[in-house]
Amino acid sequence: MLALLLAFRIYTLSVARNALTNSFINFDKLVYG
């Protein structure tokens, strides 16, 4: 049960980080063309 919670936590963190990275990349494209 604890391992499942930990895996879910890591998954959500990685998804959030990927979304953040993608938004930064899009922002760079917007600013620098």
pLDDT value of residue 27: 92
Q: Which two tokens stand for residue 12?
A: 């959500």
pLDDT value of residue 1: 87
Q: What is the DSSP letter of 20?
A: H
pLDDT digit string (tens) for 1-33?
899 999 999 999 999 999 999 999 999 999 987
Rg, the chain, Cα only = 14
